[in-house]
Amino acid sequence: MKRILTVFIIMLCLGPGAMAQEGVSKTEEEVEYYDFIEPSSVTGRRKPTRKERREWRKYYRLVYNFNRVYPFALVGRKLMDQVDSTIAADHLDKGVRARYINDVEKELLRLFEKDIRNTTISQGFLLVRLVDRECGHTVYDIIKDYEGGFAAGFWNLVGKLFDQDLKSHYDPEGVDKQTEELIQIWDSGSWDEFYWEIFGKYPEKTVIVTDRLSTTSRQK
């Protein structure tokens, strides 16, 4: 159900800038990144260029942020499937369906409010890309369905301030190629070892309180 996913996305992708601005920069600045990976061989070693150091830092930030938010993209897909299945199985009429959706929204807010406040802007926009990959809907389309074209246009403008286009689809062969490579590593089961090779420590696990909603439809 697109509306359910909208609440989830607005909370985790767009909420940080409005709800925890001071926490954004602090959270990201506290992350330790490395300028480059030490080569395994001492032969032919050279000092990395400024551009190379910048690219490495950008990549390390991507790895760190991916580790943090990818589980939310996965759980978002599960929650959306659950709501769709409930609506289809219970044959909800318009009124009951609206009450069910409202109840689900309240549960999502209760479950994920803490995560909103601990998510940085850059992590939120990475989640935007991952949600489109997992669920097949751009955040712009989701917001448009939920709040209308004006709201979608407004948030798309906000996104562009951070060099993000909420209308764009996930592109595994283009701008999202590195992210897609991280997904393949994750799916292969070797993520922990990959993360350790970069940061010298195993990744902190993102704790998802649940991947199932307790809300049920309230029939008349």
Look at residue 39 and tell me if it is in a domain.
no
pLDDT at residue number 106? 80
Residue-range definition of the domain harbouring residue 113: 2-32+50-199
* 107 contacts: CB under 8 Å, gap ≥ 6: 213, 214, 215
Look at residue 92 and tell me if it is in a domain.
yes
> CA-CA distance, 177 to 63, in Å (whole number)?
13
pLDDT at residue number 174? 94
pLDDT at residue number 220? 52
Gyration radius from the chain CA atoms: 19
pLDDT at residue number 71? 92
pLDDT at residue number 169? 85
**Angstrom distances, CA of residue 5 to CA of 9, 48, 67:** 6, 43, 21
Provide long-range contacts, Cβ within 8 A and 24+ apart, for 25-34: 27/118, 27/120, 28/61, 28/120, 28/122, 31/61, 31/64, 32/199, 33/57, 33/60, 33/61, 33/64, 34/60, 34/198, 34/199
The domain tally of the chain equals 1
Are 67 and 203 contacting, i.e. CB atoms less than 8 angstroms apart? yes
Look at residue 212 and tell me if it is in a domain.
no
Look at residue 219 and tell me if it is in a domain.
no
- Nearest 5°: the CA angle 8, 127, 214 is 30
pLDDT at residue number 61? 94
pLDDT at residue number 38? 45
> CA-CA distance, 86 to 92, in Å (whole number)?
9
Look at residue 16 and tell me if it is in a domain.
yes
pLDDT at residue number 96? 81
Look at residue 218 and tell me if it is in a domain.
no
Residue spans of the chain under pLDDT 50: 1-4, 14-30, 32-42
pLDDT at residue number 161? 55
Look at residue 220 and tell me if it is in a domain.
no
